[in-house]
Amino acid sequence: MGKISFSLILALAVVTVGTTSEKKCVLSGMWKNELHSLMEIHDVNDEGEFSGEYLTSVTATSNCIRRSPLKGAQHDVERRAQPTFGFTVNWEPFSNSTTIFVGQCFLDEKGKEILETVWLLREQVDSPGEDWKATRVGTNIFTRKRNAMRGKILQDHSPPCEAPAPTALGTRPPAPRLPSPPRL
C-alpha cells in the first residue's frame, strides 16, 4: 500500500474515532432533582422516545406518594451532544394531576450531565371558573444518580402506602405539600 493511501486511511480512522467518542448527554438512567425526587428513564429508542418512572418527594395532595409512569421524547439522539427533550408524568397512581417537563440535557465543563427543566403541573378542578388556579409552574435541575440498580431504587424508596405505620397520635404524618399558588 502506498504511503499516501496509508496516510488517508489513518486520517479517516482518527476522524471517525474522534467523532464517535465525543461525549453525549444521554437521558437513560437514574436522576435526582433538588427536591430529592427520583426518576428512572429506560432506554431511549432510535426515534428518541422513552418511558420511565418518577418518584416525587413532594405532592400537592394529601395522598400517599406512589411511583408514577412517564413518557417522553428526546431530540436527535445520534447527532446532538446536548439534546432537548420533553416528557409527561401521569400521577394517576395517587393524584389526578399531570405534569409536563421540557428541558435540555447539558454537559458541564467536567463532562457531568445536568438536566435543566421547566415544568407545568395541571391539577383537576371542578369547573372552568376554577381554571385560573389549576396550573403551577416551576423549574427542576436533575443530576445523575450513580450506581443505581435498574428498577430497584425507586421501588425501595417508595413509601409503604397500604399499611400506615402507627405514630404517637395514631396517624402517619402527612406527605410534604407543594407551596400554594399565590392568591390573586
Provide the binding-site residues for ligand BTN, judged by CB under 6 A: 33, 35, 37, 56, 58-61, 91, 95, 97, 99, 119, 121, 123, 138, 140
Q: Find the shortest distance in angstroms from Cβ 13 to ligand BTN.
A: 45
Q: Find the shortest distance in angstroms from Cβ 95 to ligand BTN.
A: 3
Sign of the dihedral defined by the CA atoms of residues 33, 154, 174, 87, in that order: positive
Report the alpha-carbon distance of residue 156 to residue 92 in Å, rounded.
Answer: 20
Q: Mapping DSSP to helix (H, G, I), strand (E, B) and coil, where does residue 133 land?
A: helix
DSSP code for 172: P
Nearer to ligand BTN among residue 80 and residue 141 (C-beta): 141
Report the alpha-carbon distance of residue 93 to residue 101 in Å, rounded.
Answer: 19
Nearer to ligand BTN among residue 50 and residue 91 (C-beta): 91
Q: Find the shortest distance in angstroms from Cβ 79 to ligand BTN.
A: 29
Q: Find the shortest distance in angstroms from Cβ 1 to ligand BTN.
A: 59
Do the beta carbons of residue 68 and residue 53 sit within 8 Å? yes
Report the alpha-carbon distance of residue 64 to residue 62 in Å, rounded.
Answer: 7
Q: Which residue is nearest to ligand BTN (CB)?
A: 37
Nearer to ligand BTN among residue 50 and residue 54 (C-beta): 54
Sign of the dihedral defined by the CA atoms of residues 168, 172, 175, 181, in that order: negative
Nearer to ligand BTN among residue 44 and residue 115 (C-beta): 115
Q: Find the shortest distance in angstroms from Cβ 166 to ligand BTN.
A: 25
